[in-house]
A and B are shown apart, each in its own frame.
Chain A
Amino acid sequence: MLESETLVVLIALPLFSSGFLLLAGRKADKWGHLFATAIAGSTFLLAMIEMFAMVGREEANRALYQKVFTWISVGSFNVDAALLLDQLSICFVLLITGVGTLIHIYSISYMSHDPDRRRFFAYLNLFIAAMLLLVLGDSYLNLYVGWEGVGLASYLLIGFWNKKPEYATAAKKAFVVNRIGDLGLSIAIMVAFAVFGTVTFKGIEEQANSASQGAMVAIGFALLLAAVGKSAQFPLQSWLGDAMAGPTPVSALIHAATMVTAGVYLIVRSNFVFDNAPIAQFAVVIVGAITLLFGAIIGMAKDDIKKALAASTMSQIGYMILAAGLGPIGYAFAIMHLLTHGFFKAGMFLGAGSVMHGMSDEVNMRRYGGLARYMPITTITFGFGYLAIIGVPPFAGFYSKDKIIEAAFNLGGAKGIVFGSITLLGAVITAFYMTRLFMMTFLGKKRWSEGQRPHESPFLIWAPMVILSLGSIGSGFLLYSGKRLEYWLKPVVDKGGHKHEEFISHATVTTMALTAVLIGVAIAIAKYRKDIPIEAPEKVSIFTRAARKDLMQDQINETLFMRPGLAITSTLVKTDEKVIDGLVRGVAQVSLGSAKGLRRIQSGYIRNYALLILIGAAALIAAIWVVTL
């Protein structure tokens, strides 16, 4: 591994910029956003330089390592603040800084009317720094810092318009649910330290083969819990829909392209854990499968364009998690789908933002319709993203999703058929809800009110969308052709060079997948060709109603956790006041009472005192007498 001196700059730049902008105050309002964008852009440049340097090096020397300083050192617990840039992390670094920069540019215009634009950009920079730390940390503890850092940035950005109490609540909810996942990460770190005596990826990987099955399964499940929390997977997915309260660029960057995919990164990075813990690995597949259907079903029923996209994100990450759970055959495809998804989903979110921009912040798709005429650029860029996500060749999603479906079938046996079918079913539903979304928004008759003046967004908004749409077109082929990404990632995720059997031919999978897409699109067209009511119909199946309410996830959480939690809290508060403090006050009462009783003896009459003295003396003599007897 090569030593580097400059890796830390990647993180330090946005971090200091963020702190600087927050401290600078109103004076920096005029140029703060430009400064932050320049910083984001320069991190992207740095990342590109690192990328080219890495490609230029031999495979064995590609990874870079930098120890910044000794962070914690107590007894045998030694954690350096150290960074590791290898083939896996460079993918993320490019995605984060690239999409990040585009979204900075987009936000300059999108947030131009907000008085707190400088603060917004400071948060964005903070997010970039934390996310880079997450993917660059060389140990689980460093990753944890970034992990919670992005959580904080996400909290700040979701609650950016916290004047509305619901938005503030959404931010809090996201943070708290994420913390449940963080619990998993801390447990994983503790177990890892107890078993391996180290928490670095390298140290654990070296000993992973000799560890007991129990320990590996424990770490695996704990890491899965962490991934589930961060990546909005079942059963901790409920926060993602609410997180759409944040400004749309935030949804694009954090809640679509980068942060929510951190769980996938964690699982792929921990391949040495999961490959040695088949039970945990299988649990990963199950979680991914459930979520991909869960998200897709919710996506079918949502009328809020951002929430529909959020449900779709959840579902697509389900695909990635599923792929990551397939083991060495799936890691590369999980990452490939993650990268392509980063492009097309961010692009579509920005498109949604552009639509909202032109429609005075209306988010209900039932009030859109026929926008293609008014917003040509948005429609085209969004359309590319749409074609990419449903998996139409040659757009990006086609390659990445196809490979995941194929890998799922290649699990073999009943498992292969079950999970393969689920991914196919997911593809049908994806095609359905995305077509529905596209038709409701851009096609058909206009359904907006008279006051609306839909118009195309300014250059700074559509330029990033165009660039991202280029990514949705080309990135899939680029990564797929010649198994480029597979070979690139092999040294990190597939050291053993696993051989896997093929149970199903590539051509069959492609045919099935395309058929699935066709079915989904056909149903959607048949259903949404007709006029769409402005108000959501009330007479719908229980199924739809449940899907509109996120399949009752909030209600379940409320009855299972929130209500009992509140009950415990209020009971404990009462217990503390009444019982524990009551006992203490009881002691005080008893001593006061006995003091009152004893006071009566002090009558003030001499004969009483004399009598007491006499009795005392008599008792004393009696006592002595008894003792000496």
Chain B
Amino acid sequence: MDISYYLYLSAALFVIGAVGVVIRRNAIVIFMCIELMLNASNLAFVTFARIHGNLEGQMVAFFTMVVAACEVVVGLAIIVMIYRSRRSASVDDASLLRR
């Protein structure tokens, strides 16, 4: 099987994630789309590691996972807090920085 298919899949996932971030309003969904993009890039890293035959790509993938995990922790906490105070998880309602 041609290894470049992994890359196509990664690109597709990334685009899905990106579109999700741009068009959805629910914070949780946006959050999940970001995760999707992170994982898409992880897939690309691993694929490149395979192509080049070294371990750097895999190492970065692990690194990304750790960062993603941290982000989940912080991000979810923020979303929950926002939901508690505003009874809504829509990000448009939280455009507070503009005013």
Contact = CB atoms under 8 A, between A and B. Distances in A.
A607 B25 CA distance: 8
A610 B30 CA distance: 11
A603 B22 contact: no
B23 A604 contact: no
B40 interface: no
Interface string B67-98: 00000000000000000000000011001111
The residue among A603, A605, A606 with the most chain B CB atoms within 10 A of its own CB is A606
B52 interface: no
Contacts of B97: 604
Nearest to A611: B22
B20 to A, nearest CB: 10
Interface in A85-120: none
A603 B95 CA distance: 8
Nearest to B21: A610
Contacts of A603: 95, 98
Given A607-B23, A610-B22, 8 more contacts: A604-B95, A604-B96, A606-B95, A607-B21, A607-B30, A607-B91, A610-B18, A611-B22
A614 interface: yes
A602 B98 CA distance: 7
Interface in B12-37: 18, 21-25, 30
Contacts of B95: 603-606
B18 A614 contact: yes
A607 B22 contact: yes
A292 B30 CA distance: 103
27 contacts: A602-B98, A603-B95, A603-B98, A604-B95, A604-B96, A604-B97, A604-B98, A604-B99, A605-B91, A605-B92, A605-B95, A606-B21, A606-B91, A606-B95, A607-B21, A607-B22, A607-B23, A607-B24, A607-B25, A607-B30, A607-B91, A610-B18, A610-B21, A610-B22, A611-B22, A614-B18, A614-B22
If over half of B's interface residues share one DSSP class (helix, strand or loop), that class is named, otherwise mixed; here it is: helix
Contacts of A614: 18, 22
Contacts of B98: 602-604
A117 to B, nearest CB: 77
Contacts of B92: 605
A602 B30 CA distance: 19
A606 B30 contact: yes
Contacts of A605: 91-92, 95
Nearest to B92: A605
B23 to A, nearest CB: 7
A46 to B, nearest CB: 89
Interface in A416-469: none
B1 to A, nearest CB: 27
Contacts of A611: 22
Contacts of A606: 21, 30, 91, 95
Contacts of B99: 604
A391 to B, nearest CB: 99
A183 B30 CA distance: 82
A606 B22 CA distance: 8
Interface in A211-257: none
Contacts of B21: 606-607, 610
Interface string A594-606: 0000000011111
A602 B95 CA distance: 10
A607 B99 CA distance: 17
Contacts of A610: 18, 21-22
Interface string A536-553: 000000000000000000
B99 to A, nearest CB: 7
A605 B23 CA distance: 11
A398 B18 CA distance: 114
A603 B97 CA distance: 9
B14 to A, nearest CB: 10
A604 to B, nearest CB: 3
A607 B22 CA distance: 4
B35 to A, nearest CB: 14
Contacts of A604: 95-99
A595 to B, nearest CB: 16
A607 B29 CA distance: 12
B53 to A, nearest CB: 24
A610 B23 CA distance: 10
Nearest to B24: A607
Contacts of A602: 98
Contacts of A607: 21-25, 30, 91
A3 to B, nearest CB: 89
Nearest to A606: B91
A590 to B, nearest CB: 25
B22 to A, nearest CB: 5
Interface string A361-399: 000000000000000000000000000000000000000
A611 to B, nearest CB: 5
A607 B95 CA distance: 11
Interface in A601-629: 602-607, 610-611, 614
A324 to B, nearest CB: 87
A602 B96 CA distance: 12
A377 B55 CA distance: 129
A622 to B, nearest CB: 15
A223 B22 CA distance: 86
A607 B23 CA distance: 7
B95 to A, nearest CB: 3
A602 B21 CA distance: 17
Contacts of B18: 610, 614
B89 to A, nearest CB: 12
Nearest to B96: A604
A180 B46 CA distance: 91
A604 B96 CA distance: 7
A611 B99 CA distance: 21
B15 to A, nearest CB: 10
Interface string B53-66: 00000000000000
